[in-house]
Structure 1
Amino acid sequence: MRVLIIKMSALGDIIHALPVLDYLHHVSPGITVDWVVEAPFREVLEGNPLINQLHLVQTKLWRKKPLSSETWADIAAVKKQLREREYDIVFDIQGNLKSGLICWLSGSKNIFGFSKNELQENINQLFTTRQVPIHPQDIHITDQYLRLVSTPFDKNFEELDLTSDIFTLPEDDRAAQARVAPLSSGPKILFHQGTTWETKYWTDDRWIQLGKSLLNRFNDASILLSWGNDTEHSTATAIAAAIGPGAVVLDRYPLKGFAALLKRVDVVIGGDTGPVHIAAAVGTPTVSLYRASNGRRSGPRGKRHVVIQAPMECTACFRTKCSRDHECRESITAAAVLDGVEKILTCSIK
Structure 2
Amino acid sequence: MPELNGILVHPDCRHFRGDIPCRPNKENGYLCADCPVYAPVQERILLIKLGAIGDVIRTTPLLRRLRREYPAAKITWLTLTPAILPADAVDEILKLDLASTLHLQAREFDLLFNLDKDKEACALHDTIRAKQKFGYTLHPEYGVAWPGNDLANHKFLTGVFDQLSLQNQKPYPQEIFELCGYEFQGEEYVFDTHQDKGYSWNALPIGKPRVGLNTGCGDRWTTRLWSDEKWISLIEQLQQAGYAPVLLGGAAEDERNLRLNAATGATYLGHFPLEQFINLLYQMDVIVTQVTMAMHISIALQKPTVLMNNIFNAYEFDLYGRGQIVQPDRQCVCFYRGTCKLGTSCMEDLPADKVFRAVQASVNA
TM class by shorter chain equals: 0.7 to 0.9
* 1:273-319 deviation line (CA, Å, top 9, x unaligned): 1012101101111101111122221x342221211123333356111
Answer whether contact 2:328 2:351 (CA < 8 A) is retained.
Answer: no
CA distances 1:113-132 after superposition (whole Å, capped 9, x unpaired): 1499xxxx971238x47763
Of 127, 134, 147 in structure 1, the residue corresponding to residue 178 of structure 2 is 147
1:260–1:16 distance in 2 versus 1, CA, 3 Å: same
CA distance in 1, matches of 2:318, 2:151: 27
2:53 maps to: 11
Number of residue equivalences:
308
Please give the secondary structure, in 1, of the residue aligned with 2:261.
Answer: helix
Larger C-alpha radius of gyration, 1 or 2? 2
**Correspondence for 1:163 among 177, 182, 188:** 188
Match of 1:213?
237
| Structure-2 residue corresponding to 1:45 | 85
Distance 1:170 1:318, change over 3 A: closer
Query: Unmatched 5+ residue regions in structure 2?
Result: 1-42, 156-166
Distance 1:182 1:322 in 2: 37
User: Deviation at 1:222?
Assistant: 2.2
User: 2 CA distance for matches of 1:328 and 1:205?
Assistant: 15
Cα deviation, residue 144, structure 1: 1.2
Partner of 2:64: 22
**Which is helix-richer, 1 or 2?**
1
Distance verdict in 2 for CA 1:213–1:169, change over 3 Å:
closer
Which residue in the other structure is 2:95 paired with? Answer: 56
Amino acid at match of 2:93: L
* SS across alignment from 2:213: strand
Listed one character per residue, the Cα deviations across residues 206-238 of structure 1 (whole Å, up to 9, x for unaligned) are 1110000001011xx322112222x41001110
Note the aligned Cα RMSD (angstroms).
Answer: 2.6
**Corresponding residue for 1:236?**
257
- Distance in 1 of aligned mates of 2:345 and 2:47: 41
| Cα distance in 2, alignment partners of residues 130 and 139 from structure 1 | 17
Rounded to whole Å, the distance in 2 between the matches of 1:105 and 1:180 is 52
Residue 98 of structure 1 corresponds to which residue in structure 2?
120
CA drift at 1:202: 1.1
Shift of 1:201: 0.8
- 1:320 match: 338
Structure 1, unmatched stretches of 5+, are 59-74
> TM-score if structure 1 supplies the norm length?
0.80
Partner Cα distance (2:347, 2:195) in 1 = 40
Offset, 1:140: 1.6
- Is the alpha carbon distance of 1:25 and 1:202 closer, same or farther for their aligned partners in structure 2, counting shifts above 3 Å? same
Alignment partners' CA distance in 2, 1:281 and 1:302 = 10
Is the contact between residue 86 and residue 190 of structure 2 (CA under 8 Å) also seen in structure 1? Answer: no
CA 302–16 in structure 1, closer or farther in 2 if over 3 Å, else same = same
Correspondence list, 1:128-139, <5 A: 128=148, 132-134=152-154, 139=170
Does 2:222 align with 1:204? no
Please tell me the residue identity of whatever aligns with 2:323.
Answer: H
> Partner of 1:31 in structure 2?
73
Give the deviation of 1:79 after TM superposition: 3.0
SS of 2:103 mapped into structure 1:
helix
